[in-house]
Structure 1
């Protein structure tokens, strides 16, 4: 997919639950190969938007254009306990289970040695890597990640973040990561979008080179700006030149 071509194009998207518009006339573009993080308070519509992009929610108004080859990974790995790990990965493929493609995806996430075990013997980090392999095996143009590290301990979470960054740099598919973790968003993404009451209220471009350090002055300034947009603390004056507010 050409990097100048949007991987996602959303215009006027609205999703109502009863009288409440959880997503309200939202516009969004993601470019091919771009890593975008979406943050916001609980209930602002982040996961609803991701489910719509994943083609899991169709009761909408507006237009949504996404690649045919897309994959999603959730916070819960959602592995089938009665299928061995490689067969769980192969579930993402059409037709008969393709063991070789499943093994190749497991190799990428460092889990090929666990291909023939049952999911119940995997650690939390291993189960999440199996979930990522199931997404990768589709060779997607768009990967949708819904808080995939939320249930992991701090050390395992850091390793999983590094793995996702490496996979993105290798495959260059577009990624939309939904997260509550401001530092995680800044460590991984090209852009961070702040969602509030069903629309994208703010955008921050992250132009720091990888690997990124949380101790970096610009990193701390960006973190302060995002926290201010989330209503956690006043906006630091020093970030006015690095942040751009975008109203949907």
Structure 2
């Protein structure tokens, strides 16, 4: 497995955000997590990433992540005073040495199509380029669990489509377990092996969109079901 959560409880100020939640992500499995704002999606992701701990106040239950973890957030969070190559290799110099770390970073940048931007400053990148750099930085250590926290939410529609294709391609090549946290039902159904709906602190529904490639017409009935589970009224035009 890439991760296992059992009986997870997370409380803030007396309010239970996660309530006896169970979840397993298999090796190489792509899981998408949907839920309304405030449902606890990012809270779960932070616990899996180790940004919060099962030993913290208000947290109980078991969180097991046997291997390495990497996170890509909605904001790329690149250091503006380092060029793209150095952002991607951040932290590798200590383990690999400067020259080897630079070569590893350059290979990762080639995978995401940013070879020519290796020496660029982050503030000169487009939104899509910055997210490509963020993905390269996340994948450069070959994580066993890749956590994606709404990484495409700030991108325009065409760039988002391109990033969806890139993420699937990278996932097929590297085969990490993936947890994608998103508000976008279409994105979840397009990308994931398994789509989960989080409600009342627990996994309220689970869906398997089927074999790839997928098309909107075939997914339409499932899309309506998921929107209904999220409390979104679906009209004929939706």
Fold conserved (TM > 0.5)? Answer: yes
User: How do residues 13-52 of structure 1 correspond to structure 2 at under 5 angstroms?
Assistant: 13-52=8-47
Q: How many residues align?
A: 226
Gaps of 5+ in 2: none
1:118 and 2:121 correspond: yes
Tell me the residue number matched to 1:12. Answer: 7
Report what 1:244 is aligned to.
none
* Shift, 1:25, TM fit: 1.1
Picking from 155, 160, 184, the partner of 1:157 is: 160
- Greater length-normalized contact order (CA 8 Å, ≥ 6 residues apart): 2
Between 1:20-29 and 1:117-126, the stretch displaced more is: 20-29
Pairing of 1:83-232 with structure 2 (within 5 A): 83-93=82-92, 95=94, 96-97=97-98, 98-207=101-210, 209-216=211-218, 219-232=219-232
Q: Give the TM-score normalised by structure 2.
A: 0.92
Q: Distance in 2 between matches of 1:63 and 1:197?
A: 19
Paired residues of 1:92 and 1:137 also in contact (CA < 8 A): no
Aligned to 2:71: 72
Structure 1: state its 5+ residue gaps. 1-5, 235-248
CA distance in 2, matches of 1:30, 1:94: 30
Contact 2:17 2:40 in 1 (8 A): yes
Give me the TM-score of the superposition, normalised by structure 1: 0.88
Per the TM alignment, residue 94 of structure 1 is displaced from its structure 2 partner at its CA by 5.9
Output the aligned Cα RMSD: 1.2
> Which structure dedicates a bigger proportion of its chain to helix?
2
Deviation >6 Å, runs of 4+? none
1:92 CA drift (Å): 4.6
